[in-house]
Amino acid sequence: MQGDDLLRPNRTQGGPFIPKRPLCLIRWVVVDEQHGRDLPSIPGVDPAVPNSARVWDYWLGGDEFYPADKAMADEVERVLPDIVDQARADRLFLRRVVEFFAGEAGIGQFLDVGTGLPTSNNTHEVAQRLRPDARVVYVDNDPLVLAHARALLTSTPEGMTDYLDVDMHEPDRILDLAGRTLDMARPVAITMLGVVWHIVDDDDAVRILGRLVERVAPGSHLAISHQTDEITGQQARDAVDMWNRDAAPKGVCRSKRQLEELFTAVGLELLPPGVVSCNRWRPEAPDVLPGEVDQFGGVGVKH
């Protein structure tokens, strides 16, 4: 078992709990499959309200969730059975995107907005395997993610990582603080995976992404993955409606066309293959395409 094979326990078949983190890094804890770990009380965290970072962590096989998170995750999975496949596809998309940025695109600076809880193949780990001198700034304002930020601050001696406790709705503050670590006169690779769907207003999405793009250097790239209803249709819309009733932050489905228009609206050229099911974005085995999922992704470049 290697890399992303460690992402998820075999829950549906009643198999053993498979840790998502590399075995050498596991903190051995007793996990109750029904309720997750006995998480400590963290200021700013309401365990009664399902939260996207913790629910996503559950789908990826993690143990950082409360009973309310598990209940919501299971209910969404009942309505949208491929949601776990979507979560895995999104995580693998991150790895391929970062490998593309650090390799073919020749970028050594990364801004990961909406980081989520640490798992395997975090952005700095993927980037620094190809470029040991890569610099990575993580951005999230979830208190539980902040509590785990130390796991994201393990850099190679040549590189550097930093963590910013900032809301993604504040692009100028993000860039001002990121400038302590990144050279904004050089290209930056920005990743916003699984978070833009939480910017429910289209004008806000254009404003936030547009400001990020405006202030980075030519040659910078932006990667987005986003919930759509392109594949499962009403099932996806029902799942999002369910989420918006009981969980936080709220979200919205956008179509493939809307995502394409978003890249264009902020002045980016979409790179091939465009906006596609994220497991079909430059897959490792292009001759055997996987089945599509509703999580779509794309990468744009600033000229």
Mean pLDDT in order along the chain per 10 residues (303 residues)? 36 32 29 54 89 95 94 97 96 98 98 94 97 98 90 92 97 98 98 98 98 98 98 97 97 98 98 98 92 98 98
Q: What are 199-221's pLDDT values in tens digits? A: 999 999 999 999 999 999 999 99
Backbone angles phi, psi at 106, to 5 degrees: 70, 30
Question: Is position 272 within any domain?
Answer: yes
Question: Is position 212 within any domain?
Answer: yes
The pLDDT, as a whole number, for residue 5 is 36
Burial of 119 (0-12, 13-18, 19+ CB in 10 A): buried
280, 292 Cβ separation under 8 angstroms: yes
Give the domain CATH number at 244: 3.40.50.150
The pLDDT, as a whole number, for residue 297 is 98
97, 191 Cβ separation under 8 angstroms: yes
**In angstroms, rounded to a whole number, what is the distance separating the alpha carbons of residues 206 and 50?**
27
Backbone angles phi, psi at 217, to 5 degrees: -75, 155
Question: Is position 280 within any domain?
Answer: yes
54, 144 Cβ separation under 8 angstroms: yes
* Domain total of the chain: 1
Question: Is position 15 within any domain?
Answer: no
Question: Is position 246 within any domain?
Answer: yes
> At what angle are helices 83-102 and 123-130 packed, to 10 degrees?
30
Question: Is position 21 within any domain?
Answer: no
The pLDDT, as a whole number, for residue 300 is 98
Alpha-helical (H) ranges within 103-180 are: 123-130, 143-147, 171-178
Burial of 295 (0-12, 13-18, 19+ CB in 10 A): buried
**In angstroms, rounded to a whole number, what is the distance separating the alpha carbons of residues 181 and 136?**
8
The pLDDT, as a whole number, for residue 42 is 82
Question: Is position 73 within any domain?
Answer: no
**Residue length, the chain?**
303
**In angstroms, rounded to a whole number, what is the distance separating the alpha carbons of residues 114 and 27?**
24
The pLDDT, as a whole number, for residue 6 is 34
The token pair that represents 191 in the structure block: 């990743």
Domain encompassing residue 174 = 84-301
113, 142 Cβ separation under 8 angstroms: no
**In angstroms, rounded to a whole number, what is the distance separating the alpha carbons of residues 231 and 235?**
9
